[in-house]
Amino acid sequence: MSKLPVLTKNREFQRVYSKGKYSASALLVVYVLPNNLNLIRVGITVSKKIGKSVDRNRMKRLIRENIRLLYGRLVGSYDLVIVARKADEPASFDTVGKELRYLLYKLELLDKDKQK
RNA sequence: CGAGUAGGCCGGAUGGUCGCGGGCGCAGUGCUGAAAAGCCGCGCACGAGGAAAGUCCGGGCUCCAUAGGGCAAAGGUGCCGGGUAAUCCCCGGUGAAGGCGACUUCAAGGAUAGUGCAACAGAAAUAAACCGCCAUACCCAUAGAAAGGAGCAAUCCUGAAGGGUAAGGUAAGGAUGGAAAGGCGAGGUAAGAGCUCACCGGCCCCACGGCGACGUGGGGUGCUCUGUAAACCCCACCUGGAGCAACACCGUGACAAGGAACAUAAAGGGCGGCCCGUCCGUUCCUUAGAGGUGGCUGGAGCCUUGUAGCAAUACAAGGCCUAGACAGAUGAUCAUUCAAGACAGAACCCGGCUUACAGGUCUACUCUAUAU
């Protein structure tokens, strides 16, 4: 599998926020905007509201790992921005994965037939 | 054995599978390219901390200012000596305070340069006679009196020599206070007072020891001297400003702003689906610098040994290369194990300080008890 394509520029994030659709759950918000690159790019944002840098890094890693595992099942040509929301307890790998699958399915990005 | 003091070290471990970051090597054609090279692929080892944190000090480095120097302002530092690139840091001392002790703590110059402040309490707060004590003069009293206490009063109670007034003396005593006119004892006196004396303390001088802070000893001086300088201030010394988003280079002309011309209302689109509402036109010019590369890790570097030094540290020899990202790399899962894992994530780099921290471990020393 090739490297995970990511969003890097602040401009791209702003475009997805302002023009894209979104869906939210307890821990996450996912923004989606179609692009014409014929691939799916992902950006992850964890603000300082989440906690100290150790907690923010932890959250990012959990999201990134889950995206990596789900990437082969994503269909279409989109830019995604995943925003972490403030939680009372530190999230586990499984709850992040569960919410992410739920949100992506709601946004019709997840192909249910392509189960591994 | 128990209680304690000081300092150092570690900060879960091992293995499997999948994955990430930069580096090196390979293949050289699957893609881009004229090439260099890049992407992709394979392999290899490496990949967060003792505080990476707070950004509180000190430097390196970069740009700006500056002939050199001085003065002033502003800020900082403040016992002595040493260390260092440098410091408000470190080491070794001195003094003071605390502890039986190992040891710990200290923003430790100047209060006769000047100014300010000292609440409350207390008789009085930088200077003092409110009470008390005392001799003198006058008056009352010297026997159930005067004065004192109880009672509206008559009167009763206590009890045996004193009491009141005046103008004085006196800082020994007085439930205050952070601080009360050096402390304590003796002499002295009407009562007292450094008034006199011994000891302690203060101040001044001398000698000796020490580079010095200072210490020890001797002599002199009765000594009128409150605290506060993290209050102003005085004295001595130090300091140009801004920071890696610095700065240098390559560079597209994005987004945006302003102006001019055309159009000014329809369609369409965004604001999660609908309604309402609201926003969005095109061309040219000017201002604008998207993006990328370097800076970016080999350095006041780390380890070992030796020499000098009480030490901080310096020097020498040998060995080592140990993160370098730019939406920002350490994760997921399985197994085993133990003491069941705290605080916490590099962002130009060092030296310090401060703060946070589960637990483990080592060394030196002190005290007490027991035993020998």
Provide the 3-class DSSP secondary structure of residue A21. strand
The amino acid present at A65, given as its one-letter code, is E
The class (CATH top level) of A10-108 is: alpha beta
Is any atom of nucleic acid chain B found less than 7 Å from the CB of residue A100?
Answer: no
Length of chain A: 116
pLDDT tens digit string along A9-60?
Answer: 666 666 666 666 777 788 888 877 776 566 677 778 887 777 788 888 888 8
The gap from C-alpha A43 to its chain's centroid, in whole angstroms, comes to: 7
pLDDT of residue A4: 58
Q: What is the interface pTM, i.e. ipTM, of the complex?
A: 0.80
* DSSP category for residue A72: G
Token couple for A89 = 């307890």
pTM of the predicted protein model: 0.70
Instruction: Write down the mean pLDDT value for chain A.
Output: 73
DSSP state of A48: T
For A55-65, letters b (16+ CB in 10 Å) and e give bbebbbebbee
Through-space separation of residue A69 CA and nucleotide B179 C1' in angstroms: 79
CA of A104 to C1' of B100 (A): 75
Q: How far is the CA of A4 from the C1' of B83 (A)?
A: 55
**Nearest nucleic acid nucleotide to A94, CA to C1' distance:** B332
Q: Is the CB of A44 under 7 A from strand B?
A: yes
Q: Which nucleotides of B are covered by protein (CB under 7 A)?
A: 19-21, 39-41, 48, 270-272, 290-292, 326-333, 344-346
* Terminal Cα distance for chain A, rounded: 15
